[in-house]
A and B are shown apart, each in its own frame.
Chain A
Amino acid sequence: MSEKLNIEVPTMAELVARGEQPEILFWVGCAGSYDERAQKTTRDICKILHHVGIKYAVLGTEESCTGDPAKRAGNEFLFQMQAMTNIEILNGYDIKKIVTGCPHCFNTIKNEYPGLGGNYEVIHHTQLIQDLIAEGKLKAEGGESFKGKKITYHDPCYLGRANGVYEAPRKALEVLDAQLVEMKRCKSNGLCCGAGGAQMFKEPEKGNKDINIERIEEALETNPGIIAAGCPFCMTMLSDGVKMKDKSDEVQVLDIAEITARANGL
């Protein structure tokens, strides 16, 4: 199952020491590195990369926050400090292509780093999975069957509206032969989980409801077995929502990478 990591995760430092260069750098992100729930997704992304035999590496302890929450909170100084430090490391390793495990890192590196000297081809892990499926390198076999299971996908704002990536995560789910159901507010009309714009790190303002509850109620209306996520922050908000609604026994919140890994028995 997807808990254990029996593979060695290569770091850039190790690769360079061996005089090698990866095909793709996996940018893990802070949530993926430290948040226990998100770590599972991180390990599953590594398993997928390993499984298909892509030569990849991570920065390990050389990675640092992209600066996204600082920028959304209005601290441009801190954002650019982080960005320039990261760019120095990435350029130092001559990185060309990056896959991120988080839509926020994805958006920041893809859109905001070029202006500061960091030019890379950046994709989100759901796009990588979609590509691998399209190339025939990844299927949904040898693992857990999702056939007929009801799955609803929650669009992360920074993947969907912010960057127009709506199809990749859905394509990644389509191979499962599951029953995909859309929430009322989906794709460009998707409702935020409530974590964006640095909300993740503070208490919400006074109101009559928490945003993740509003969202989870809508998700539960579809009667899903699984709520699929593509963002570690959405994962936290949605999982909390499911817990608050006492639905943890019936409804799982899983990242698309986790679902893919399970379907392939990784």
Chain B
Amino acid sequence: MISQILFIAIIIAAVVLFSINVKKVIRNIRLGRDADRSDQPSKRLMTMLKVAFGQSKMVVRPIPAALHFVVYAGFVIINIEVLEIMIDGIFGTHRIFGGLGTLYNFLIGSFEILALGVWLACVIFLIRRNILKLKRFMASELEGWPKSDANYILFTEVLLMTAFLLMNAADAKLQTLGLSHYTAAGSFPVSQFLIPLLPDQPSVLIALERGCWWFHIIGILAFLNYLPYSKHFHILFAFPNTYYSNLEPKGEFTNMESVTNEVKAMLDPSFVPAEAAAGRFGAKDVNDLTWINLMNAYTCTECGRCTSVCPANITGKLLSPRKIMMDTRDRMEEVGKSLDQKGPGLEDGKSLIDNYITREEIWACTSCNACVEACPINIDPLAIITELRRYAVMEESQAPTSINTMLGNIENNGAPWKYSPADRFNWAKEN
């Protein structure tokens, strides 16, 4: 009875805590400007199913794709087991679904095989990061917390899977001892090999089985509450992020409506804009970005596929699209913390541009869209870079000198070079 109450209390606490943190995250995302992505719902749904659920963009790199798929399938399928754990925990039953017989045996058997797969995949992932030191995971923006974050996630998953298999092994052994509580249920294709390693005393076995059971469920709940602080948030955000991702051609940049009004008024003095332009042009800080940009930042799992294909990064420039996303999230968290502690009206003298993302980074971008193409969950770092450039150019008039020269040429000659418009057609007459 006490354990049932404790169990229910832990579940409630975990869910409440998680809801509070998710609310904060949603509030942070809502700091962003409006952007309408409510069009084409069926196409959006298909994109989500294909890219997030079906992981279609992962296959470009087959090895991590296969390993990731095992962990993903394991996560989704083994969590069916959580349903049983919940019911058992609340009602004090044991393996409530055991009555399903063959189906149950099949389910537990598959969970075990998947658990072993997840265990192996996570160990390989740890080796790739810490021993093989793949270039993608060695960038400077990952130093410190991001690197630890990745290792904590993988290590926790290894522990959770170990607990799950040990629990089953202990249970299987108890079932053979004929204790009334431990009726025969489940098949144990993996954990049967652990049985010989376990002690024979029923009391120790029960302690082990119960210990692993509690560790498994508390571990999962702790993991859930870790998500809002971690890059691992992608397991949830991948779905809305792909649903709301850009469906237009990648080369199409948004036309700024506020500018359209001003330009129309300039070209046609009789034009009266519907409403005055609000806010600044482009983005100086996170609240100037759209909620899509900000959701992108929470979705990023720092895999670095973007950075590894970025022509600027490949050739040694400072720009790293992954860092653009990480900086955006860090700044958003900072603004969010200030909102929690001091309420609105943050004036810390800092901004996303300069304090997080430098000018050198934004001007190194070739807008080639390789990062956007590479992201397995449709994050768009280029959209943020463009907004920062817009701010630098339109609000501050601070662009590299040669860019200003180019802009001046377009304004005066209708071409980015200093040629006379009168000579524009000379190509047909020469030679």
Contacts and interface: CB of A to CB of B under 8 A. Distances in A.
Interface in A1-29: 3-5, 9, 11, 28
A73 B392 CA distance: 9
7 contacts: A60-B428, A64-B415, A81-B263, A81-B411, A197-B365, A198-B367, A205-B312
B431 A207 contact: no
Interface in A43-100: 43, 46, 58, 60-61, 63-65, 67, 69-78, 80-82, 84-85
Interface in B144-186: none
Contacts, number: 219
B105 to A, nearest CB: 45
Interface in B299-336: 309, 311-312, 314-319
A220 interface: no
Given A80-B263, A84-B264, A205 B318 contact: yes
B347 to A, nearest CB: 25
Contact of A162 (B251, B314, B399, B430): B251
Contacts of B266: 81
A11 B343 CA distance: 63
Interface stretch (B34-42, B132-140, B401-409): B401-409
Contacts of B369: 157, 161-162
A35 to B, nearest CB: 8
B423 interface: yes
Given A72-B389, A162-B250, A214-B314, 8 more contacts: A4-B431, A73-B389, A84-B267, A111-B248, A111-B249, A205-B317, A206-B317, A211-B314
A201 B366 contact: no
Interface in B240-271: 248-253, 255-256, 259-260, 262-264, 266-267
Interface of A: 3-5, 9, 11, 28, 30, 32-34, 39, 42-43, 46, 58, 60-61, 63-65, 67, 69-78, 80-82, 84-85, 107, 110-112, 115-116, 157-158, 161-164, 188-192, 194-211, 213-215
Interface residues of B, number: 70
Contacts of B360: 205-206
A85 B414 CA distance: 10
B255 A211 contact: no
B390 interface: yes
B366 A33 contact: no
